[in-house]
Every structure is written in C-alpha cells, then in structure tokens.
Amino acid sequence: MNKTLTLKKLGSYLWPKNMIKAKALLISSIVFLIIGRLFVIGGPIAFKYLIDHLKENPGSFPLIILISFVGVRILAQVFNELRDYTFNIVSQRVFRQISVTVFSHLHNLSLKFHLNRQTGGLSRIIERGTKSLESIGLFLMMTILPSLIESILLAILLWNWYSPWCSLIMITTMLTYIVFTIIVSTKRLSIVKQMNEYDNTAQTMAIDSLLNFETVKYFGNEQFETQRFDQVHAIYEKTSRKLRSSLNFLNAGQAVIFSIGLGGMLAFAIKHAAVGEITPGDVAALFAFSLQLVMPLFNLGFAYREIKQGIVNLGEMFNLLDEESDIKDAIDAKPLEHKLGKISFENVSFSYNPDREIIKNINLVINPGETVAFVGTTGGGKSTLSRLLFRFYDPDIGSISIDGQNIRNVTQESLRKTIGIVPQDTVLFNDTIAYNIAYGAPNTTLADIKNAAKNAELDKFIAKLPQGYETKVGERGLKLSGGEKQRVAIARMLLKKPEIYVFDEATSALDSTTEKRIQQSLRQISKGKTTIIIAHRLSTIVDADCIFVLNHGQIAESGNHDELLQQNSLYAKLWNQQIREEVANEVES
C-alpha cells in the first residue's frame, strides 16, 4: 500500500464518520496545542520585559512581570497536558479499533492464507504496525505540529517586532535544518528496512525453532539452530553499526546548522543592541526564542524517520486488511437449517496445488444418523474431505450439501456450529485444562466441563493433578501427552454438542483399553447423529454402517466391514496387514 493510501486510511480512523465525540476530541487537542504554543512564545517575551525592567529600575521588584513570566510557563504546560490528555484518548481509541479490526480480519481469512504465512513474520507486522500508530501520533502532536505552529507564529512575531532579516535568518536556518535532516533520514530509512527484514527473519526463525523444540532435541541440533540464529544476528549487528554511524553524521550536521543560525541571530541582536535599537531584554528574548525553537528540532530526524517508517509499517498492516479470503459467505447466504443430517458429495475434485490433485471425482451420500468411515493409505485424501466439509476450502469441481443445502450458500458460522470435530493434530491454547475444554462452549458451567471430561476418560487424570482443572497445558499443549491432548479435544467437542460428528484419527494416541472405553462413550453420545470417522486403525470402525476406501483420491471400494472383506481387495489387504502387525507386536511384547 502506498503512503497516500495509508495516510488516507489512517485518517478515516482519526476522523470517523458519524462519531461527533471523536471529532470533537481531535479538534480539542489541536486547539490546546495552538494555545499552548502561544503561551510558550509568551515565555521569552515576559523574560524580555523582566530584564529590561531590572535594567531601567534597578531598585524595584518587578512582581507583576515575574508573575506573568511564571504564569505563561504554567499555562503553557497546562495546555500541553490538556493536548496530551485529549489526543491520548483519540490515539488509544484508534489503536483499539485498528487492532481489533486486524485481529478479527485475520480470523476471517481462509486456512490457505494462514498456511502460506509464517506466524513469526505475521506477528511482527502486526506488532510494528500497532506500535507505529502510537509513534506517528506521538511525534506528530509532540514534535512536528508544535514545531511547525511555533515556527509560523515566531516568524510573524520576529518580522513585525524586530526585522524581516531576523525572521529570514530563522526561516533559512529552519529550512536548511529540515532539508538536511530529511535527506539524511531518508538514506537511513533504507538501512532501517534492512534491519526490519533481518529482524523478521530472526523472529520467524526463533519462533519456528522453539515451536519445534522437541524435534530439535530429538536430532541434537541445538548447536545447528544457534548457529543459524547467530548468522542472522551477525548481519543485523553489522547493519546496526552502519545505522549508528549515519546517526552520528546526522547529529553533527544538525549541530553545525543550528550553531551557524544561532550565531547569525545573535550577531543581528548584538549589532542592533550596540546602537540602542533594541534592548538587552530583546537580545535575551531572541536567544531564548532560538533555543526554544530548536530543542524540538533536535528530535526532528528521529521523528521524521519514525513517522516515515511508521507509515510503511502501518501500510504493511493495512495490507493485511486488504487481503481477501478465498472462502467467503455468499451475498445471500443463509444459516444452515439442520434437518436430518444427510451429507452429499457430488462430483467433488480438489487440489491444494494445480500440479497435484488430492480428491478426484468423489460421489457419495451419507444418510441421516449413519456412521461412516473413510480409510485408506496415507495421503489418500481422507482428512481433506473433512476440511472440505468444514469449508476451509471449496472444491475445484462439484459441490457438497447438507440436507439438500449447498454449503457454499450457507453462512460459515452456522455450518461450523453444526459440525463438531476431533482433529488429527490436536493443538491446545496456552491456558488451563478447563479453558481448553470449555472452548467447545465458552459460556458453559464447570459441571458441564466435568461431565465432558468424564465422557472423554479425562476426569481421573485431572483428579490426580495438584491444580486440577486449573492446570496450565503449556504452549500448544506441550505439557500434556498426545493421548491427554486428544482426550481434551474429545471433551471440548462433546461439550459443543454438534449435530454432525467428525472424528479424524480421534483415538490414535490412546492405549487400546482407554480407546475402547472412549469409543463406547462416543457411540452412545453420537447415537442417532450423522457421524464420520477418519481412521487408520481399522479395528475402530468395524461397526460402521458404511466404509469408504480411498486410494489416490478416489473411492476404490465401499460397504460395511464384512462386505469389504468378502471383496478381498484393498480393504482386505489393509485389514490383514494390520492383523499381522498386531500379532507381531504382541509376540514382541
């Protein structure tokens, strides 16, 4: 997104339509800023009269002038604080609105988007973008606008009160200072961009490595990961040194320009004071004006760089808002009306990549209340069917319907409320066991959570934990075993009480005894409900009403367990192979 569009979009948040209060706060902060600058300029003026009074009336105490001097300084600070207070309300509202909008939008994007983006890099874009909101507002209201307004007011004052030459010296110094700062800061910005890229790479690498902590340990690659991380930071270090040297050059150049300008202003003042055209108080006031004006400008380079980089960072975040999901609700989408639970796949074909078709012309019907199973070799497309049913992806060809309603024509929210799943790869939130179970129905009671845990054979395990249901499960649930995570997933799915059940290798990480008990519980709970089981262990689906055998993305066979064994084809081979493996395992044990 270019800078103009970024600023325009930011402006729409700062100046929102139909929000009078928000607009009033922004206007108030600008008014307070202008009044505060007027009082800031009033300080040196009061100082001038104070010095002149002491020179002309050495025996008297200038009480009124002294009070005025103190008063304008206090009022300047008061209005500065009012500006900060009102603008902080504005900036925090904008920060909240944009943050929530981006967060919500990311959740509304499709699975395809998230699989193609690295979490570390994405989090850094959001982090830098939200921080830039604050820095842009801070530097605009605290540095750029105050300096600009004060410069205009001061230029007018010097022109009328002293001499156009005095005003021109100040304006020339300011413009030279600003142009030099912008040129050098622009060059420094390219270095900052490089540092951001290396920072992104390092962050992504670190998160990816830590998320795969166990894999690193399994292969003893701690040193390898550290070396990779160090290589990126070595480049970052070198770039950082380059950035620092450019800052030294910027600071030195700014000091030279300011010193020359200050010298010119003092030369003007001393020359005219020597012939009595201006008073000693005027000399002190001009000196004070110069110092007062240039102090904010010392931060101009930093402010300019931060604002410009902030606009870039904000643009990257706004680009996320421009990302369109490839899975959208139809304009006239209606909530799914669950009637009986009949599911139909009609001529469904699908591929993640154009060069590799995963599902090929699938035609099948799952009747209401049936329990069906999908089995087959790894990579045959079993789990892809569940993703298509949840509408994480749309078929390339064909359609999927529930009770005669094409799932493309119903809202995604209603579709996913109707279906419950225990996924193949269970990922938990870094929170308590109770929170993770309750995620199936966030407003549920503790009694319901405990009942779901009992049906998932999880209650006895939880009872042994010192903190019980308040036990933290760790990042992605790493503090729990595979079987424990799987039972948490089963519990939260049961708590959801869906109309259609999907079990994707739901008990693959459990021992055979626990597996049988849970399966018995699941059969009881899902009785009369349409149930889909995706299984590798064939012994878990022998009671299914119909078994679909997938091979290379196509339905090779279908029927119940006995019928498929009689066919003596692919299913029978898979069954016999598993029987032999189980016998061999028993002999070894």
Question: Which amino acid, one-letter code, is at 141?
Answer: M
The angle that helices 164-211 and 119-139 make with each other, rounded to 10 degrees, is 160
**Residue 13 burial by Cβ neighbours in a 10 Å radius (0-12, 13-18, 19+):** middle
Q: How far apart are the first and last CA of the chain?
A: 63
pLDDT at 533 exceeding the cut of 80: yes
pLDDT at 588 exceeding the cut of 80: no
- Of 426, 441, 453, the C-alpha closest to 497 is 441
Q: What are the beta bridge partners of residue 350?
A: 359
Residue 453 domain-assigned (yes or no): no
- Of 305, 225, 125, 119, the C-alpha closest to 233 is 225
List alpha helices for 140-163, DSSP H.
Answer: 145-161
Of 290, 322, 354, which residue is a domain's last?
Answer: 322
Beta strands in 252-370 (DSSP E): 343-353, 356-366
Residue 434 domain-assigned (yes or no): no
Q: Tell me the percentage of the chain whose pLDDT exceeds 90.
A: 18
CB of 393 closer than 8 Å to CB of 387: yes
Give yes or no: residues 373 and 410 share one domain.
yes
Residue 199 domain-assigned (yes or no): yes
Residue 437 domain-assigned (yes or no): no
Give the chain's domain count.
2
pLDDT at 51: 82
Residue 462 domain-assigned (yes or no): no
Which CATH number does the domain housing residue 547 bear? 3.40.50.300
pLDDT at 3: 67
pLDDT at 469 exceeding the cut of 60: yes
Helix (H, G, I), strand (E, B) or coil at 401: strand
Q: What are 436-465's pLDDT values in tens digits?
A: 999 888 888 899 999 989 888 888 889 998
pLDDT at 585 exceeding the cut of 70: no
Give yes or no: residues 144 and 21 share one domain.
yes
Q: What are 181-218's pLDDT values in tens digits?
A: 888 877 777 777 777 777 777 877 888 888 788 788 77
pLDDT band at 158 (very low <50, low <70, confident <90, very high): confident
Residues across the chain: 589
pLDDT band at 2 (very low <50, low <70, confident <90, very high): low
pLDDT band at 583 (very low <50, low <70, confident <90, very high): low
Give yes or no: residues 315 and 352 share one domain.
no
- Catalogue the long-range contacts made by 438-443 (C-beta closer than 8 Å, 24 or more residues apart): 438/492, 438/495, 439/492, 440/491, 440/492, 440/493, 440/494, 440/495, 440/496, 441/495, 441/496, 441/497
Of 293, 322, 351, which residue is a domain's last?
Answer: 322
Residue 549 domain-assigned (yes or no): yes
Q: Structure tokens of 340?
A: 């009986």
Give yes or no: residues 157 and 221 share one domain.
yes
Give yes or no: residues 290 and 190 share one domain.
yes
Spatial separation of the C-alpha atoms in residues 21 and 23, rounded to whole Å: 5
Which CATH number does the domain housing residue 172 bear? 1.20.1560.10
Give yes or no: residues 177 and 36 share one domain.
yes
Residue 274 domain-assigned (yes or no): yes
CA atoms within 13 A on the CB side of 35: 15
Q: What are phi and psi of 501, to 5 degrees?
A: -110, 140
CB of 455 closer than 8 Å to CB of 525: yes
**Residue 524 burial by Cβ neighbours in a 10 Å radius (0-12, 13-18, 19+):** exposed
CB of 505 closer than 8 Å to CB of 332: no
pLDDT at 383 exceeding the cut of 70: yes
Comparing 4-18, 30-44, 123-137, 230-244, which segment has the lowest mean pLDDT?
Answer: 4-18
Residue 179 domain-assigned (yes or no): yes
Instruction: Name the residue range of residue 250's domain.
Output: 3-322
Give yes or no: residues 312 and 373 share one domain.
no
Give the mean model confidence (pLDDT) for residues 411-418.
91
DSSP 8-class letter at 478: T
Spatial separation of the C-alpha atoms in residues 155 and 37, rounded to whole Å: 13
Give yes or no: residues 306 and 419 share one domain.
no
Instruction: Give the pTM.
Output: 0.70
pLDDT at 524 exceeding the cut of 80: no
Of 322, 356, 374, which residue is a domain's last?
Answer: 322
Give yes or no: residues 297 and 357 share one domain.
no
CB of 549 closer than 8 Å to CB of 557: yes
Give yes or no: residues 189 and 143 share one domain.
yes
Give yes or no: residues 367 and 272 share one domain.
no
Give yes or no: residues 281 and 350 share one domain.
no
Comparing 80-89, 119-128, 344-353, which segment has the lowest mean pLDDT?
Answer: 119-128
Mean pLDDT, all residues of the chain: 83
